[in-house]
Amino acid sequence: MREVGTRSRFITFFAGLDYLQFGVMLLLLGIGLTFIYSTGEQVDTESSRAFFGKQLHWIGLGIFLYFLMAAIDYRALPVRFAAFGGYGITIIALILVLFLGRTISGATRWLDIGGFRLQPSEPAKLAIICVLANIFSDPRFGKSPLKIAVLTAMTVGVPFALIAIEPDLGSALILLPVTGAMLFCFGIKWRYILTILLVVCCCIAVVLADCFVWEKPLLLRSYQIDRIKIFMNPGMDKQGRGLNAYQAMNSVGSGGLSGKGIGKGTQNELGFLPQTVSNNDFIFSVLAEETGFTGSLFLLALYMTLLYTILRTAFLTGGYGRFLATGIGTMFFCHIFINIGMNIGVAPITGLPLPLLSYGGSFTLTGMGTLGMLQSIYRSRDELIS
């Protein structure tokens, strides 16, 4: 009887999965591996070729995490309370980064834990989404906009400040649209939304003044100011600070309609595209050069399908699950939009990876873990529609 019951639960589990999302995720991971291998062979150093094996390792761990998260009932109280524990751990990790973190290219964003290099800002995004979903779905706060505003500001403000100090302004700014989308899903009144937008506009004005008006910057570092100035004027300093952005756009444009062929891109091989980040921040440029407009369009279609599955999950459920799906979907959308945008010149250069394609353990595990959580929500959809 026990064997029959176990088999029944096993069949029920796999029958309830969103296979469209699962299939798209596997395709994106496969494409990412292909171009991580391609960049490694083009750079042709021992360390660059090792990236493929490392990413394969992260994906293996990610698939385990994906099914683990899909199998866990996200509605269970211990699981929901665990979000607060995870939030606390990420805050501690973000503080430790400031004192014990590894500095690369002027930014201190990583903790070396054994043989693993963790970027705490990535799991922090998921922890924040889970805590906000708990707050917004709690009926005790439904009639108290002031409590919601204070709790939201505290939940987001502390990690935002810690991530911005590293500095990792790109990851910090992701928290703003994620929070805004979840507040909108909560049903916040328009006057509060307009107030928030006014505050955001004031912050943008201060940042622009830091770049173009004040002689001595107050908030931003020099390289951040240069990135914004180059974004506003792409032709400025093509051989210096603007080199990466200029070469990334050249790579995208040189692919033409059908590309030069996988493994045959010249921008990365000849060193015009920065080889240190060609498998991470600029992997879209490599893909666009080697597969052209056709390959880029196919990639965008896959991402649109992935976002559709997330949005569908949000609509098929309610309460806590809907807030989770909204926050996760917004996070994915922002990463996709900003990463591809900086490769084609419509967004400033940041260190945001392209979901499921870019090399890196922290965001690969975070991204696959969040998609596994969405599977858990999708499996419970019939019980939660409200």
pLDDT-derived band at 382, boundaries 50, 70, 90: low
Domain, as residue range, for 317: 19-384
Tokens standing for residue 34: 């292909």
pLDDT reported for residue 76: 82
Is 239 contained in some domain?
yes
Cα separation, 88 vs 288, in Å, equals: 40
Helices (H) and strands (E) in the chain, counts: 15, 3
The answer to whether residue 243 sits within a structural domain is: yes
Q: Which residues contact 100 (CB under 8 A, 6 or more apart)?
A: 111
- Contacts of residue 175, defined as CB under 8 A and 6 or more positions apart, other chains included, come to 125, 128, 156, 159, 160, 163
Per-residue pLDDT at 224: 62
Q: Tens digits of per-residue pLDDT, 283-330?
A: 999 899 999 999 999 999 999 999 999 999 998 888 889 999 999 999
Q: What is the DSSP string of 38-78?
A: HHHHHHT-HHHHHHHHHHHHHHHHHHHHHHHHHHS-TTSHH
For residue 2, being part of any structural domain is answered with: no
Question: Is the pLDDT reported for residue 7 higher than 70?
Answer: no
What pLDDT score does 1 carry? Answer: 47
pLDDT of residue 291: 92
Residue 373 lies in a domain: yes
Residue 267: the pLDDT is: 77
> What is the residue-averaged pLDDT of the chain?
81
pLDDT band at residue 146 using 50, 70 and 90 as cut-offs: confident
Please check whether residue 54 lies inside any domain of the structure: yes
Residue 9 located in a structural domain: no
Whether the per-residue pLDDT at 386 is higher than 50: the answer is no
CB hemisphere CA count around 198 (13 angstroms): 6
Q: Tell whether 6 is covered by a domain.
A: no
100-129: average pLDDT: 77
Identify which has the larger pLDDT, 261 or 102: 261
**Res. 23 pLDDT band, cuts 50 70 90:** very high
pLDDT in tens, 176-204: 889 888 988 887 777 777 777 787 677 66
pLDDT for the residue 239: 58
Question: What's the mean pLDDT in 9-22?
Answer: 80
In a domain, 13, yes or no: no
Scanning the structure block, which residue is given the tokens 């666009």? 288
Number of structural domains the chain divides into: 1
Lowest-pLDDT range of 71-80, 146-155, 307-316, 377-386: 377-386
